[in-house]
Amino acid sequence: MTDLTDPGERKAELAGNLARVEERIARACAAAGRSRDEVTLVVVTKTYPAGDVRLLAELGVRHVAENRDQDAAPKAAACADLGLTWHFVGQLQTNKVRSVAGYADFVHSVDRSRLVRSLEGAAERAGRELGCLIQVALDAESGQRGERGGAAPADVDELADELAKAQGLRLDGVMTVAPLAGPYAGSPSEAFGRLREISTRLRTAHPAAKMVSAGMSSDLEEAVAAGATHVRVGSAVLGQRPRLG
């Protein structure tokens, strides 16, 4: 949709948006008494073209994320020369794992044993090490579980042990999306506080699993306040997506 836009204008628009997001992260860090370098901005480029990824790289972005392999694979290939770190943040079907293991550096959406086994095989075949985060569904216990995937909090420890033993996979931490239903709906601070508890518990058994991926355009401040190490920001940088993506 932005292909017809003059690249100079688009770059200026992205630069302005990035500056505003950077300011929000810096303020949130200051308010929480955290150092700015404890939080990594991951720009979610889903639905936007490879040209935008290139402009973002020119503006200093180092981490990008995608949620659908069909879109991500060609984009990552088109941007292979940029040396970016690619994060896969969407629900992952096992038939896409082989492709994802070819370009992703991190997978934030590991939520079941079958996926761990599939990722292990794909990482070995690709000769790559994949950083893995366990996606936690904070609405899983309410019976109103959304459609975004994720493991129930009670299943995190077992999945973590499986990940830690898997060849070619590195257990790096936890991820969540603030739930739209259940007891945490509309309360991102409480949701991210719960994720922090789950992360703390995980790190007693797996001290290296320090990543906490939480917070998007609308709730990055709450995530930084609750200890997020990675915020995943899409629309505040790239603009409103025309459809849910």
Ligand X SMILES: *Cc1c(COP(=O)(O)O)cnc(C)c1O
What's the min distance (Å) between Cβ of 232 and ligand X? Answer: 4
183 touches 146 (CB < 8 A)? no
Q: Which of 217, 225, 227, 228 binds ligand X (CB under 6 A)?
A: 217
Nearest residue by C-beta to ligand X?
A: 234
What's the min distance (Å) between Cβ of 110 and ligand X? Answer: 13
179 binds ligand X (CB under 6 A): no
Cα of 84 vs its chain's centroid, Å = 14
Per-residue contact string for residues 125-164; x = within reach of ligand X by CB under 6 A: ----------------------------------------
Provide the H-helix boundaries in 64-175.
Answer: 69-78, 97-103, 113-126, 156-165
Q: Which of 216, 223, 224, 228 binds ligand X (CB under 6 A)?
A: 216
Considering just the CA atoms, what is the radius of gyration of the chain in Å? Answer: 17
What's the min distance (Å) between Cβ of 39 and ligand X? Answer: 15
Query: In this structure, what token pair is assigned to residue 99?
Result: 């492709």
Per-residue contact string for residues 15-54; x = within reach of ligand X by CB under 6 A: -----------------------------x-x--------
Per-residue contact string for residues 220-239; x = within reach of ligand X by CB under 6 A: ------------xxxxx---
- Which region among 29-37, 99-107, 187-195, 212-220 touches ligand X (by CB under 6 A)? 212-220
Contact residues for 106 (Cβ-Cβ < 8 A; gap 6+)? 85, 86, 87, 88, 130, 131, 132, 133, 172
DSSP secondary structure string for all residues of 101-130: HHH-SEEEEE-SHHHHHHHHHHHHHHT--E
245 touches 66 (CB < 8 A)? no
Query: In this structure, what token pair is assigned to residue 120?
Result: 């292990």
Question: Interface residues with ligand X (CB under 6 A)?
Answer: 44, 46, 67, 89-90, 177, 216-218, 232-236
